[in-house]
Amino acid sequence: MLIGLLLTLQIIVSVTLVGVVLLQRSEGGGFVGGGSSAGMMSVRGAGDLLTRTTWILGASFFIISLLLTILAGREKGASSIVDRMKIDSLDPALLQQQKAKPPAGTAQPGGPGSAPTPLQAPTPTINNPFLGQPQPVQPASPPQK
């Protein structure tokens, strides 16, 4: 019940926060008009009010988010993934059995008994349009001491 109430409050705060941010004056103008030059509806007064409202709504958004995270973690914290798995139907003796090995000489390539074959890199070539055919690269000789 508390999580539902906090979620509703979170939605209201977030929609209000988006509206207040959109009402703020940007460098290119904004939705807020000049209004009268006196009182809270002046450009400076409206900016201060919207800035203060944005800070309050932003802080409440983060606080409600933290509360929702803590409450959701405590609600689900009692059960673990191991408790949710159906391991009662598994037979431990069946898991401990070793698999039968195939007869000698019938091992498949890449199977557990065979060694992997090393990969061979292709010979590097230089494709120079002035030489015609691609030329193989000569290995560099080690430096003389």
Tens-digit pLDDT profile for the chain (145 aa)? 888 899 999 999 999 999 999 988 775 554 555 544 444 455 556 668 888 999 999 999 999 999 999 988 877 655 666 666 666 666 777 777 777 666 665 655 555 556 667 788 777 777 766 766 666 666 666 667 6
Rounded to a whole number of angstroms, the distance between the first and last alpha carbons of the chain is 81
DSSP state of 130: T
The model scores a pTM over 0.85: no
pLDDT at 24 (0 to 100): 84
CB environment 59-91: b (16+ within 10 A), e (fewer): ebbeebeeebeeeeeeeeeeeeeeeeeeeeeee
Question: Which DSSP state fits 38?
Answer: S
Q: Give the closest residue to 32 by CA, choosing from 49, 57, 52, 55.
A: 49
Angle between helices 2-23 and 43-76 (to 10 degrees): 150
pLDDT at 60: 97
